[in-house]
Chains A and B, each alone.
Chain A
Amino acid sequence: MNLQSNDLLKKFKNIKVTYVRDRRIRVDISHEAVANFLGMIKGQGSYIHLSAISCVDWIKDNEFELVYHCWSYEENQLISLHTRINRKEAEMISVYDIYKPAEFFERDIFEMYGITFIGSPKMEKFILTEWDGMPPMLKDFDAEAYVMDTFNWTDYQPDWLKDIEKEGGGIAIKPEDIRFHATSPSPTDD
């Protein structure tokens, strides 16, 4: 399906199609129309491969951005479908009935960002099965504060280095072991 010549796109309101370069098309669309659009490009076009769904947390705009990457093996073209949803009521219609692999992508996003996908078959923990805190990929999750709060640190002990030097270790290289010389002149050459 050539998006440029097709009339199908006119059915969608508020759609913005950008031809980024050869074989790469960016489509911006409202979130209500995502399932329709994906159904259309899969059914009437040849975009049968959903390679990924990615998510971006735009905390200042109070929005999540979801990007659906669809690949066509006939056109050799990638459509990235961008949509934005509200960050507070983070809900989205699942596209599992159109693309089966979406189950795992949606589950991953649910776990990392806390977006609920309505109609997805398994909205539960995926990889972080033993994590109870807030979704860790959110911008307002302060990983550094969490780490400082939870873990201890090994102190730096310079005595260890002295022990190593005593045994002839460290980074000193014996002259007979040097096989390659640095090309830049050393400070003593001046």
Chain B
Amino acid sequence: MKNIEIKTTQQRTNPLANVFDRFMQFCQSRSLFMLHYCTGCGAIELPPAMTSRFDMERLGIQPMVTPRQADILLITGYVSVKTLKRVILTYEQMQSPKYVIGICSCTVNGGMYWQSYATAKKLNDYLPVDLYIAGCMPRPEAVIEGLQLLQNKIANNDGHSWKDYFQNYDYYLGNQQHLFGEDWQTPTDIITEAKHYGLEAEGTYGKHTELLAKHQHPLQPLPLKTNN
């Protein structure tokens, strides 16, 4: 990942507003919704982490079934190239602020599938990953500790990796195009979103986004038809 400094939110001058901001960050960190998108074998450690044995809900982390209402995208294990496309589509559908956690060694370096032609290796080439939880597979304790780290990051106004996706979009898009081919396009228009959020930066544009603009076509509604 390119190390470009991410602009953190500026402290406001009004001390009362500061307190309010801190309070908001605290509340946000204690109410996280985690998307169920289980890609690999690490997902088997999540049911005990979520349910009565280790009980993630006491920390304010709950599972959520749709990307639109979720905060955290957990990548639990190996991501095949085909799955990675769907993961990126899912990630782009989520609302900001959003966080990506890579669980298991597969998301770090391919793990035991490092030789496989079908498995994507380094997840933070394609998505801005907030933190990795290594292990094959990490125990529920480790998963919960990792999630607590993320909570602390958010509470301390430090969890801004999602902005990196807008500010360095060209880098991520370049890696995606390298893997999926040059005609790769997602339904979400990231550049327009970056403008909307006011997160345009130097890295948003580049030769890869130019390539995207050449063939990008607006999203069409799906035709209504039944299969014969």
Contacts and interface: CB of A to CB of B under 8 A. Distances in A.
A152 B115 CA distance: 12
Interface in B101-143: 108-110, 114-118, 120-122, 124-125
B111 to A, nearest CB: 11
A147 B122 contact: no
B120 A151 contact: yes
B121 A153 contact: yes
Contacts of A154: 108-109, 121-122, 124
A146 interface: yes
A74 interface: no
B68 interface: no
A99 B36 CA distance: 39
A7 interface: no
Interface residues of B, number: 20
Which secondary structure dominates where chain B touches chain A? helix
Given A147-B114, A147-B115, A147-B116, A152 B121 contact: yes
A136 B117 contact: yes
Contacts of B85: 130
Interface residues of A, number: 16
A86 B178 CA distance: 36
B81 interface: yes
B117 A153 contact: no
Contact of A152 (B81, B116, B125): B125
Given A130-B81, A143-B115, A144-B115, A150 B179 contact: yes
B82 interface: yes
Nearest to B121: A151
Contacts of B125: 152
Nearest to B85: A130
* Residue from A130, A150, A151 whose CB has the most chain B CB atoms within 10 Å: A151
Contacts of B110: 147, 151
Contacts of B120: 151
Contact of A151 (B108, B122, B124): B122
Nearest to B180: A130
Nearest to B120: A151
Interface of A: 128-131, 133, 136, 141, 143-144, 146-147, 150-154
Given A150-B178, A154-B122, 19 more contacts: A128-B82, A128-B118, A129-B82, A130-B81, A130-B82, A131-B118, A133-B117, A136-B117, A143-B115, A143-B117, A144-B115, A146-B117, A147-B110, A147-B114, A147-B121, A150-B179, A152-B125, A153-B121, A154-B124
11 contacts: A129-B82, A130-B180, A143-B115, A143-B117, A144-B115, A147-B115, A147-B121, A150-B179, A151-B121, A152-B175, A154-B108
